């Protein structure tokens, strides 16, 4: 039996101020619904309301850490994967 490759989490833009890290859209949608996000925020569940960030966006968007250090979303993504990761998890927000 061949080993199954582990899925790598991706960054999804939820709205103009939240980005989440998850393995796929469906698991993210289920998690958000189970944790207080309602349909009014996302609309029809069959129309995925969020999108995976492109490689270009991951390089372009800037992440500002609690210490004020600014890095690309790509660098923060790589650093996050080095730490303990459970999916889904909040990746970035403008509301903190």
DSSP state string for 15-76: ETTEEEEES-HHHHHHHHHHTT--HHHH--TTS---EEPPHHHHHHSEEE-TTS-EEEHHHH
Of 8, 4, 7, 6, which is closest to residue 81 (Cα–Cα)?
Answer: 8
pLDDT of 56 > 90? The answer is yes
Residue-level pLDDT at 60? 95
| Mean pLDDT (whole number) for 35-63 | 76
Structure token digits, residue 84: 């303990």
| Mean pLDDT (whole number) for 10-23 | 86
pLDDT of 63 > 90? The answer is yes
Residue-level pLDDT at 46? 46
Structure token digits, residue 55: 């490689």
State the pLDDT confidence band at 23, using cuts at 50, 70 and 90: confident
Higher-pLDDT residue of 96, 56: 56
**Averaged pLDDT score across all residues of the chain:** 79
Higher-pLDDT residue of 66, 36: 66
């Amino acid at each position: 039996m061949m080993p199954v490759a582990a899925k790598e989490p991706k960054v999804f833009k939820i709205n103009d101020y939240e980005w989440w890290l998850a393995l796929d859209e469906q698991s993210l949608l289920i998690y958000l619904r189970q944790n207080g996000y309602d349909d009014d925020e996302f609309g029809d569940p069959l129309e995925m309301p969020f999108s995976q960030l492109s490689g270009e966006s991951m390089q372009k968007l800037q992440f500002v850490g609690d210490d004020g250090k600014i890095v690309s979303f790509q660098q923060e993504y790589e650093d996050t994967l080095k730490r303990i990761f459970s999916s889904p998890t909040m990746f970035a927000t403008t509301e903190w």
